[in-house]
Structure 1
Amino acid sequence: MEDHGPIFSYTDQDFVHDVSRSEYEQRTQDLSRFDRALRSGWSEKMRRGLFRYHLGELETRVLPGEAGYVAQLNIQRGIERRKPQEILSIRQIFDPLQFNFNKIKPEEVLFEMCRNKHGPSSTESCVQNGSSGSPSCLVIINVSPLELGHSLLLPEPARCYPQVLTPLAVRFGIETVFLSSDPGYRVGFNSLGGFASVNHLHLHGYYLSHTLKVEWAPTETLSPKKGLYRFPSFPRAFLFYTEAQDLEQTARAVCRLTDILVEENIAHNLFMTRGCPPYAEQRPSALRRGVRVLIWPRVSCFGAKEESAFNVALCELAGHLPFKNKEDFNTIDEDGVKAIVQRYVLSDHEFTQLEKRVLGKL
């Protein structure tokens, strides 16, 4: 696969700030340039039949309870998605003989992103200054989509990085959230052992037009100098926050933490979303001025994926639950969700001990 498709060039001036909760109900209005490029390209490829199944309007319900879990029925994804690779280690090396994203069909490419630190957002300047030397990120469709716009972000795929986060990957992920004017656009990452299906560096991006508790729930400070917070609600997580001025610093800090998890052979999932500042009391209706980055250390899962009501990965830990069968979708309640999730996350004692080790190494 050599065709990188059209170029999407951008600068910091394309970032959208002060996104409000009410805009979930206005997804087709005032779309940013990024949203238009992603959604129009994605919809066109859906019309062309390039996905494994047609994704219509998904049956959705918000479970009663304080967590506000968003359950969705997506039977086709459970049936049609590509068989996951056999993962044996969190630090498994890249294997060029296995499926990787350099083997996809050129038609699956949406566009190539590159950031211009200087100058206008234009194709010409990107071709000159981006693709020819500066890092870029390929955006492709996920052929087994979870939701509208489900795509994969591939930082420099030709370099064949394994599925371990890099500062560049984190930066591209955060930047796409800032490039979207839709507060429902999310980005996530599954580590090896955390239900990653392919050992080739990638992040997931998609739209979900429902608010999630992770966007606004209170946090607790862990390390002010490092910008690190604790997300104390179940399931407990580490949290970083940025309003874009310190984006590079935040990306490096996130990777310092995930590097520690990799060193300790701890699987993890990451979720990026529009969010409220972590240092003030918030309400679900508050402005989403910045981006929250949540990282959940979790129990490693190797071999075949579990056949439960849902697999516990980046979406599920954030409160978005794609179900594979109608019975589970119709009958599960908040307590049932928490019982499943609890099997895959650290206990309070394990998390507290990990916190101490992380703070000693950061």
Structure 2
Amino acid sequence: MAAEAEQPGPPGAPHSEDFVYSEDEFILHGAGWRSEPAPPGYMLSRFDRALQEGWKHRMELGLFRYHLGELETRVLPGPMQLVAQLNVQRGTEKRKSQAIHSVTQPFNPQEFNFTQIRPGEVLFRMRRSPACPPAAGCPQLDYVLVVINVSPLELGHVLLLPEPTLHLPQVLTPELLRFGLDAVLLSAHPGFRVGFNSLGAFASVNHLHLHGFYLGWPLLVESAPAEPLSPAPGLFFLRGVPAPGFLFYSQGAGLDALARDVCRAADHLLRRGVAYNVLVTRGEPPRGEPPRAGGARAGLRVLLWARRAALGPGAQAALPVALCELAGHLPVAAAPAFRGLTEAEALGAIRQHLLPEPQLEQLRGDLARLLAP
């Protein structure tokens, strides 16, 4: 999914405000599927209202590259339950992705970056309360901007950005990921997801950001059982899904430690030249416990996919397979392809970007040892 914002815009644009929250607002029980599909407004928390109302207001003001209506959607026949959506305008109107030559490419101020966003594109600043006292060894990141993606993938598609003037490259940090974990727990909708694309994994802008968006369909990666990877007690491996990957799980506790572990694993991949994608979503415990009553999601699943790095000019012509596709959500830009797409075709395209099994097996051992107590 491409990350976009535009040059300074019209006078009279709305100004952002602070969204101050505490962990008491985390929704740890009851965020479940009432029906399928689930419209994004069918249940709203204070966070959902702030995001959706601000996002729709910006759509009315014409701050997006196109008007996003209800997207034609189909669940492909087959065991993977792939969710395909037709979004023609995103395919034609979004900004061209930057050329990426390394998974650790430094920030380049001459390329498009988020210092160029218009003030009206910022919905609010997320701030955690109470503020961390200076003597407590606080993280450097004490707020993130929640900004519209001007080429939206779905309703409520936003970016979570650290202060843009820090000029941070697209390498995931525990501080930013912690805000992403918070955002998912602040939403009452089980289909609000947060994700990250590394360089070489179809990040389109080399400036640190997360994606957040609503999708009104459950995904198999949120319920499929996973195998533990000993000796790391909190690390699992997920098979039998569109793309096998590493799984971390929390029921809402230990979020700082969870964010650090995910980023330690991600940094290990980068040191070996391996690109990665991350998805944060509500989901079932890893060992395949029965679903909760009413489809309620019991906790957070964080998926980390190690994958082939798509680098250089030729990568721009390849079929983009980023966090959505690996999770089983398939944005499609052309109507004929959308209507004729089969599960086998989609899985074939996804698996071209995966690591060979011997390399993945080596990484399973590496990460299990890295995250061992």
TM over 0.5: yes
Could you tell me which residue of structure 2 aligns to residue 143 of structure 1?
150
Asked if the contact 1:297/1:346 (under 8 Å) is kept, the reply is yes
Q: Which amino acid is 1:175 matched to?
A: D
Aligned partner of 1:272: which letter? V
2:347 counterpart residue number: 338
Q: 2:360 aligns to what?
A: 351
**What does 1:18-167 align with in structure 2 at a 5 Å threshold?**
18=29, 19-22=31-34, 25=38, 27-117=40-130, 135-167=142-174
The one-letter code matched in structure 2 to 1:203 is L
Q: Could you list the per-position Cα deviations for residues 111-154 of structure 1 after superposition, in whole angstroms to 9, with x for gaps in the alignment?
A: 000101369xxxxxxxxxxxxx8610001000000000000000
Alignment partners' CA distance in 2, 1:134 and 1:57:
35
Deviates more, 1:216-225 or 1:10-19: 216-225
Give the whole-Å Cα distance in 2 for the aligned partners of 1:16 and 1:53: 33
Change (3 A) 1:11 1:339: same
Structure 1 distance, partners of 2:164, 2:285, is 33
Question: Is the Cα–Cα contact under 8 Å of residues 111 and 138 in structure 1 kept in the other structure?
Answer: yes
Name which of 260, 283, 289 aligns with 1:252. 260
CA distance in 1, matches of 2:65, 2:141: 33
- Cα contact 1:11–1:118 (8 A) shared by 2: no
Aligned pair count reads 348
The answer for unaligned runs of 5 or more in structure 2 is 1-6, 9-13, 133-139
- Tell me if the contact between 2:291 and 2:297 (Cα under 8 Å) persists in the aligned partners: no
Structure 1 residue runs without a partner (length 5+): 120-132
Query: Contact conserved, 2:44 with 2:188, CA < 8 A, in 1?
Result: yes
SS in 2 for 1:340: helix
Matches of 1:30 and 1:166 in 2, distance apart? 31
Is residue 2:332 matched to residue 1:323? yes
Q: Structure 1-normalised TM-score?
A: 0.91
Task: Tell me what 1:312 maps to.
Answer: 321
CA, structure 1 residues 223+174, in 2 after alignment: closer, same or farther (shift >3 Å)?
farther
Q: In the aligned structure 2, how far is the partner of 1:4 from the partner of 1:270?
A: 31
Task: Give 1:277 deviation, angstroms.
Answer: 1.1
Distance 1:271 1:181 in 2: 18
Where does 1:288-303 land on structure 2 (aligned, <5 Å)?
288-303=297-312
Change (3 A) 1:349 1:151: same
- Structure 1, 269-278 or 153-162: larger mean CA deviation: 153-162
Report whether the alignment pairs 1:182 with 2:194. Answer: no
Root-mean-square deviation (Å): 2.1
SS of the residue aligned with 2:267?
Answer: helix
Q: Is the partner of 2:312 in helix, strand or coil?
A: coil
1:123: which partner in 2?
none
CA distance, structure 2, for counterparts of residue 265 and residue 225 of structure 1: 23
Aligned residue type for 1:337: A
Does the alignment pair 1:287 with 2:296? Answer: yes
* CA–CA separation in structure 2 for the residues paired with 1:118 and 1:243: 23
> 2: distance between equivalents of 1:144 and 1:270?
20
For residue 20 of structure 1, what is the amino acid of its counterpart?
G
Letter in 1 for 2:148: I
Over the matched positions of the two proteins, sequence identity in percent amounts to 49
Shift of 1:187: 0.5
